[in-house]
């Protein structure tokens, strides 16, 4: 069944898009990740203009993160104060990102930058996941009981000024790394159309040393508000949020996530991470190949902005 | 009686030819092309008659017709990918003003059989006669030509530029029908349908009718809102997302 997307201005197959939402939702439920970093490239592969894919994906993430954040909020596993600090950084980063997005689009380099960022991030994260999970699997074989808790030194982080106490997380740390992390995630949300959980969760655990029980809830809390802000800012500045496309993906996504979560509980953590790492690397390679391979059509028609 | 009719025919024919009063009249299958959620491209049908023409010449099929549909004019930037540091990036670009967003032409015969090149070129009938000059100093350079050809090629690949020889069909000697395709990506706005009547390689009459391509219902509302009040649109998009997320939370809650 074909449906005309009012903003992307193209006719698409609803079942294909719904299936994509379902599939990525399944993976995100299974692995406990947002899925934006898989969905945006898939939309681009489906010929949705990258500008629309990125902005619309931010809108979809509002739905999935709201659903998740609500559950965590009920369980009380959200550090609101830390979340708000991250959010201040996040909104700053997102506002800057939307402005960068507009100027890149006008210069005709938006698609390229989106692809390069994806290749860099997906390549790094995919490789790290595979290495880390292989190590964990090897360790688990040697000493079945040993949990891999890294007592990393907080080092330079503790020496920074402007310390604030976060009661829920039992932390007394500088706001600088918190704000910087928020800015980075906000930039990623607006330029790449991702929630940024894949950066924020490890950074909160390993750099800020936030207790793991509040990490997911707090990051979802921040992602939810940052993607809300990004959706509104993209709509107001670039008119690239396609609400019809977003709705198809949201519905597919939330349904898929339920099934994914059930399957995820039956699989072991290391295997899951290795599998996700492979998927991430596959998407990275595909995007990378498109960058270096000589395109069939060297010319493109562009948006002639400023009029 | 018969001879009287024939006499009349001759008289009118003589009169019309001498006065060059043969005229083309056209009508469209619809004045508005509506883009709804199920829109997947359509055909616009242009009907036309040749009035006041020489009857003998009509019977001899001495008239040829070309129908052109022209979309709204807009500026276009054409960019060329170049290899830099092993990666294909957008390099040189050229800006073109007043490029029809879509351009379809249907003719009763091959263009060069209808009229001579000079005539079709002046009237801008046919893709090769479409005037598209880039905003560069030397609009006739090899580079400018490459960019212009690429613009045409890409628009043609996207079915936005269409040439359909034989797309004009004569139903009777004086009545014709042209079926011109409009692709799924047809640009919204005011379009024009132009019909040209040719006789002996010369354009003898032309008519132009405008029609609207617009989104209707939900599509129109969404598009208009996004472009007139992006802020409100964004807020609505967020509310829709919150409602979906909340519903999912309620439906799938386990406890």
For residue range B52-102, list pLDDT tens digits in order: 877 777 777 788 899 999 999 888 888 888 888 888 888 888 888 888 989
Distance CA B90, CA A109 (A): 7
- Asked if A49 and A180 touch (Cβ cutoff 8 Å), the reply is no
Chain B: give the shortest CA distance to residue A31, in Å.
18
The pLDDT mean for chain B works out to 83
Q: Which of B77, B150, B184 sits opposite A304 (nearest CB)?
A: B77
- Residue A119: which region, alpha, beta or left (left: phi > 0; alpha: psi -120 to 50)? alpha
DSSP B64: E
Return the residue of A nearest to B152 by Cα.
A301
pLDDT tens digit string along A213-261? 888 888 889 999 999 999 999 999 989 999 999 999 999 998 898 888 8
What percentage of residues in chain A have a pLDDT greater than 70?
Answer: 93
A97, pLDDT greater than 80? yes
- Least Cα separation, residue B128 to chain A (angstroms): 19
Q: What is the mean pLDDT of residues A183-192?
A: 91
B19 to chain A, closest Cα gap in Å: 47
Model confidence band, residue B209 (pLDDT cutoffs 50, 70, 90):
very high
For residue A50, list chain B residues with Cβ-Cβ distance below 8 A.
none
pLDDT digits (tens, 9 = 90+) for A279-289: 889 999 998 99
| Contact at CB, B155 and A297, closer than 8 angstroms | no
Strand (E) positions, chain B? 23-28, 32-35, 42-51, 63-70, 73-84, 87-100, 103-107, 161-165, 168-172, 175-182, 189-199, 202-215
Whether residue A236 and residue B184 make contact (CB cut-off 8 A), yes or no, is no
Q: pLDDT-derived band of residue A57, with 50, 70 and 90 as boundaries?
A: very high
Q: Are B224 and B208 in contact (CB under 8 A)?
A: no
Answer yes or no: are the C-beta atoms of B46 and B167 closer than 8 Å: no
| A76 in contact with B, Cβ within 8 Å | no
The answer to whether the CB of A270 falls within 8 A of the CB of A136 is yes
Going by their DSSP bridges, the two strands B32-35 and B63-70 should be labelled as unpaired
Minimum mean pLDDT among B58-62, B179-183, B243-247: which range? Answer: B58-62
SS3 B50: strand
The size of the A-B interface in CB pairs under 8 A is 177
What is the rounded average pLDDT of the residues A57-83?
89
* Chain B touched by A110 (CB under 8 Å): no
Name the pLDDT band for A53 (thresholds 50, 70, 90).
Answer: very high
What percent of chain A has a predicted confidence (pLDDT) above 90?
Answer: 34
pLDDT > 80? residue B151: yes
Interface test with A, best of B245, B246, B249, B253 (most A CBs within 10 A): B245
Q: Give residue A169's pLDDT band: very low, low, confident or very high (50, 70, 90).
A: confident
- pLDDT of the residue at A144: 53
Q: Coil, helix or strand for B185?
A: coil
Q: What number is the average pLDDT over the span A100-125?
A: 89
Q: What is the pLDDT of residue A229?
A: 93
> B246 and A299 in contact by Cβ < 8 A?
no
Report the alpha-carbon distance of residue A112 to residue A191 in Å, rounded: 12
Q: Which residues pair with A264 in a beta bridge?
A: none
The alpha carbon of A100 is separated from its chain's Cα centroid by a whole number of angstroms, namely: 18
pTM over 0.95: no
Report pLDDT for A215.
Answer: 86
Select from A226, A238, A173 the least CA-distant residue to A199: A226
Fill in the DSSP letter of residue A76. Answer: T
CB contact under 8 A, A246 and B252: no
What is the sign of the dihedral through the CA atoms of A133, A134, A137 and A143? negative
Q: Do B249 and A67 count as a contact with CB atoms less than 8 A apart?
A: yes
d(C-alpha B68, C-alpha B65), whole Å: 10
A269 interfacial to chain B (CB closer than 8 Å) = no
Taking alpha carbons only, the member of A263, A267, A150 closest to residue A209 is: A150
* Closest Cβ opposite residue A254 in set B157, B233, B248: B248
């Amino acid at each position: 069944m074909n449906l005309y997307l009012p903003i992307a201005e193209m006719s698409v197959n609803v079942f294909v898009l719904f299936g994509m939402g379902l599939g990525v939702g399944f993976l995100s439920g299974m692995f406990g990740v947002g899925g934006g970093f898989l969905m945006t490239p898939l939309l681009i592969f489906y010929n949705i203009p990258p500008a629309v894919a990125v902005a619309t994906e931010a809108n979809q993430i509002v739905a999935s993160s709201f659903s998740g954040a609500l559950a965590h909020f009920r369980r009380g596993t959200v550090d609101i104060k830390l979340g708000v600090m991250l959010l201040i950084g996040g909104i700053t980063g997102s506002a800057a990102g939307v402005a960068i997005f507009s100027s890149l689009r006008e210069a005709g380099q938006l698609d390229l930058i989106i692809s390069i960022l994806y290749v860099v991030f997906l390549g790094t994260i995919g490789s790290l996941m595979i290495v880390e999970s292989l190590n964990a699997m090897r360790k688990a074989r040697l000493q079945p009981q040993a949990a891999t808790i890294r007592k990393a030194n907080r080092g330079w982080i503790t020496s920074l000024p402007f310390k604030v106490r976060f009661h829920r997380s039992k932390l007394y740390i500088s706001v600088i790394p918190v704000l910087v992390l928020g800015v980075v995630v906000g930039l990623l949300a607006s330029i790449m159309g991702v929630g940024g959980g894949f950066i924020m969760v490890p950074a909160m655990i390993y750099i800020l040393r936030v207790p793991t029980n509040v990490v997911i809830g707090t990051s979802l809390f921040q992602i939810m508000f940052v993607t809300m802000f990004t959706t509104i800012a993209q709509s107001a500045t670039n008119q690239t949020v396609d609400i019809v496309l977003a709705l198809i993906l949201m519905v597919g996504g939330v349904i898929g996530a339920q099934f994914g979560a059930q399957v995820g509980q039956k699989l072991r953590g290391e295997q899951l991470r290795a599998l996700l790492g492979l998927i991430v690397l596959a998407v990275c390679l595909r995007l990378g190949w498109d960058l270096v391979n000589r395109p069939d059509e060297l010319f493109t028609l562009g948006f002639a902005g400023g009029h | 009686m018969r001879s009287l009719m024939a006499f009349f025919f001759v008289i009118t024919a003589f009169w019309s030819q001498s006065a060059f009063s043969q005229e083309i009249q056209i009508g469209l299958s619809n004045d508005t092309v509506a883009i709804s959620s199920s829109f997947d491209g359509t055909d616009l049908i242009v009907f036309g008659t040749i009035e006041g023409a020489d009857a003998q010449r009509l019977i001899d099929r001495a008239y040829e017709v070309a129908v052109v549909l022209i979309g709204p004019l807009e500026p276009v930037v054409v960019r060329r990918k170049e290899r830099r540091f092993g990666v294909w990036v957008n390099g040189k670009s050229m800006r073109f003003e007043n490029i029809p967003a879509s351009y379809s032409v249907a003719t009763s015969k091959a263009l060069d059989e209808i009229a001579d090149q000079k005539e079709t070129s002046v009237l801008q009938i046919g893709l090769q006669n479409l005037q598209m000059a880039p905003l560069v100093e030397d609009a006739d350079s090899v580079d400018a030509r490459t960019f212009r050809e690429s613009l045409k090629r890409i628009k043609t690949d996207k079915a936005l530029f269409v040439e359909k020889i034989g797309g004009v069909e004569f139903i009777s000697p004086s009545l014709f029908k042209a079926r011109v395709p409009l692709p799924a990506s047809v640009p919204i706005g005011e379009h024009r349908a132009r019909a040209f009547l040719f006789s002996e390689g010369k354009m003898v009459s032309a008519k132009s009718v405008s029609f609207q391509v617009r989104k209707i219902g939900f599509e129109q509302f969404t598009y208009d809102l996004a472009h007139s009040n992006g802020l409100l649109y964004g807020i609505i998009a967020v509310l829709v997302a919150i409602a979906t997320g909340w519903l999912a939370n309620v439906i799938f809650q386990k406890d």
